[in-house]
Structure 1
Amino acid sequence: MAFKIGFTADHKRTQCEESAYQARQHTDAPHPSVVQVYFESRDRSWTYYNDRFDLHEGDLVYVEGKLEGVRGRVVEISYNFRIKLADYKRVIAVADTAVHGEFYVAGSHFVTFDRAAIPAEKAALWFMAPDKPEDEYASGQDETSFPLSDLKAMKAPNPAVERGLAYFVKDMVRYLCVDGTKGRAIVEGSRAYEVNFTYCGGEVSGLTCSCFCGGSCKHEVAAMMQLKNTLELIEKNYAEVYRRSGYFAAVPKETLFSFTVDGMERGRLTL
Structure 2
Amino acid sequence: MAWFNRKDKGIQTPTTAKKEAPDGLWYKTPSGKIVHMRELKNNSYVSPEDDYHVRIGSKEYFEILFDNNEFEELDAEMTSADPLKFSDTKPYPARIAATQEKSGLKDAVRSAVGKMHNKDIVIACMDFGFIGGSMGSVVGEKIARAIDYSLKHKIPFLMISKSGGARMMEAGFSLMQMAKTSAKLALLSEAKIPYISLLTDPTTGGVTASYAMLGDFNIAEPGSLIGFAGPRIIRETIGKDLPKGFQSAEFVLDHGFLDFIVDRRSLKRKLTTLLELLEN
Scaled by the length of structure 1, the TM-score of the pair is 0.25
Q: Of Structure 1 and Structure 2, which has the larger fraction of its residues in helix?
A: 2
Considering only CA atoms, is the larger Rg found in Structure 1 or Structure 2? 2
Query: Whose relative contact order is higher, 1 or 2, with alpha carbons under 8 Å and at least 6 apart?
Result: 1
Q: Of Structure 1 and Structure 2, which has the larger fraction of its residues in strand?
A: 1
